[in-house]
Structure 1
Amino acid sequence: MRAAFASDELPATSTDRRAIRTRAALRSALAAEIEATGDLSRVTVTAVTGRADVTRRTFYSHFRDIPGLVDAIERETIAEFEPVVARLAAVHLPELKAAIDAAEPCPGSLELLSFFKERGSYLAPLMGRGGDPAFVERIKAMAHGIIAARALEGIDARALGPFFDYYLTFAISAEAGVLVRWLAGGMRESADAMARLMTALMFVRPGDLYGTPIDLDIPRFALSVLLDQGEDHD
């Protein structure tokens, strides 16, 4: 019967102090239990409600089970994160170049890092080794959808197709990996330091760290190869 009435939604977003406290308590308790057990699959409703000082009746009025709570937290987080990604994706190359020339991080990157740092207490366990591996994939899928549409503006036509998709997948996966590593490490570096670091990582070339930079002619080395392969299959 409980499942029939459960909505798998966090208590309605409002200014109601009790609802706000309940949301925060459940998120914190879930994160603490993931850290305590080392495995999300071992987290129980009893443990979460006990740690959050929330009754089981209150829990079941909103969620069917722990996966329902996890899904609600992840959906809420992604919904809040989407506009942050959209603002970052809207940055034009001249803006990026101007920021780099001024020794500043990519516009929007500090906001992105601050988003994760402010929510790190529960995002770190959820996105970590003992959390939900699908969460990172959901974030990456959302980012891919937003960035892909924006990145197509003014793109070299030769890059369209497999190269563009592989490039975007590579870039987003790399950024996500750095974020997860930062969260797992306790976010020792400041958001500003990480924004600068991630901006720099975007431009690291093979050999840069060894004093022997390699300049790669992308159109000749990759784009033309993929185009030739496409023609071979025709």
Structure 2
Amino acid sequence: MVGVKNNRRAQMTKRIIQESLIELLHSNDNSLNEITVTAVCKAADVNRGTFYAHYKDVQDCMHAMEKSVTDELAGAITFNKRKNSWEIVLTGILEVVKENHAVAAYILSNDHDFLTHFLSSIKSKVLEQDKKANPTIGIYESQYMYEFYLNGIVGVIRYWLKTGMRESPEELGKIINDC
């Protein structure tokens, strides 16, 4: 319905603006600071007023995409006591990455502040779950294991994105979990 915040048309417009920003980021290896609102509007075929109805600036648009991916990733990270819990969590994360592959590729390649913030925000949740599953492991050992596994997983996801995501999220989740 027109005039209602977040109606389908507004959501579609936001999506087109966001996709245009991602295309600009990938074309000619532009940095986020080099991209102007005018360039995004031209690529999205919207006027500046439409852009500013949804975002303050280009960085705000990117932040909105990052927040959306963060919320989806956080939703995918739910632990349980089932045998394949990590594989299920990994598959959920990989599904979010695949669904948002353009944004994920940018974040994993360029936006280290976002990645660091997100990984820090889930660290306590993962360590708490790990402590419940392995009560004999010390806190320092657990933290080192977290860093080791997490950096390995991020590296695998980067490679998966770079090579065209040939494996399904389920297949890659199993591969990572089996390692």
Q: Does TM-score exceed 0.5, indicating one fold?
A: yes
Do residues 43 (structure 1) and 35 (structure 2) align? yes
Q: Deviations over 1:62-115 (max 9, x none)?
A: 333222111121112101211201x2xx133x613xx9xxxxx82333222122
Displacement of 1:147 in angstroms is 1.0
**Partner-residue secondary structure (3-state), 1:95:** coil
Q: Following the alignment from structure 2 to structure 1, what is the Cα–Cα distance between the partners of residues 93 and 5?
A: 22
| CA shift in 2, pair 1:186/1:142, >3 Å | farther
Within the candidate set 135, 138, 147, 2:126 is matched to 147
Q: TM-score, structure 1 length as denominator?
A: 0.66
What's the % identity of the aligned pairs?
A: 23
Q: Following the alignment from structure 1 to structure 2, what is the Cα–Cα distance between the partners of residues 135 and 182?
A: 20
Q: Following the alignment from structure 1 to structure 2, what is the Cα–Cα distance between the partners of residues 176 and 46?
A: 34
Within the candidate set 66, 70, 78, 2:62 is matched to 70
CA contact (8 A) 1:31 1:126 kept: no
Q: Following the alignment from structure 2 to structure 1, what is the Cα–Cα distance between the partners of residues 76 and 100?
A: 14
Aligned to 1:17: 8
| CA shift in 2, pair 1:146/1:34, >3 Å | same
Within the candidate set 32, 42, 45, 1:53 is matched to 45
Q: TM-score, structure 2 length as denominator?
A: 0.84
Deviation >3 Å, runs of 4+: none
Structure with greater helix share of residues: 2
Unaligned runs of 5+ in 1: 1-11, 100-104, 202-234
Whose Rg is larger?
1
Unaligned runs of 5+ in 2: none
Do residues 114 (structure 1) and 95 (structure 2) align? yes
| CA shift in 2, pair 1:13/1:185, >3 Å | farther
State the superposition RMSD in angstroms: 2.3
